[in-house]
Amino acid sequence: MRPAIRAARPEDLPELVALDEVCFGPTAWSEGAWADEFDRLTEDRVVLVADEGALVGYVVLLVPPVVEDVVEVLRVAVTPAERRTGIGGQLMTTALDRCAGRTVLLEVAAGNESAIALYRAFGFEEISRRRGYYGGSEDAVIMRWRNDE
């Protein structure tokens, strides 16, 4: 069964906090950080979830009102047991559908091969690197996607 991709609702908060913990462990966002994301949903955040009865993935976008043509992907993740089944791709497709005419930027750890492969599959290209950005040892790769339509 393919999950439905839908906008997050306030009642998703506890499940998202738990899923983020499973996906990111020590670098998961706190419940307070997630609550801030929800507070900003009408302001500059878009949170989409993959829902198949339980939540199995999510993507968080920053759509700043000040620089209106640039969107940032802040986080995308899929529960480990359901990776490589297309859910990350479904989330990215729905997210990028909302970004027509905009530039989309993201930052990813240079060693995160799955995420980089996912982003490349969607046409993201590396535009720069920040040396030693993650805890001093790992570079951050900045990637950009541009919709030509």
Q: Which is nearer to ligand COA, 101 or 111 (CB)?
A: 111
- Residues 104-120 as b/e (b if ≥16 CB within 10 A, e otherwise) read bbbbbbbeeeebbebbe
Q: Tell me whether residue 87 or residue 104 sits nearer to ligand COA (CB atom).
A: 87
**Residue numbers at the binding site for ligand COA (CB under 6 A):** 23, 75-78, 83-89, 108, 112-115, 117-118, 121
Q: Residue 41 CB, nearest distance to ligand COA (Å)? A: 19
| Minimum gap (Å) between residue 88 Cβ and ligand COA | 2
User: In Å, what is the CA distance from 31 to each residue of 20, 78, 108, 125?
Assistant: 10, 18, 22, 32
Interatomic CA distance for residues 16 and 29, integer angstroms = 10
Cβ proximity to ligand COA, 41 vs 140, nearer residue: 140
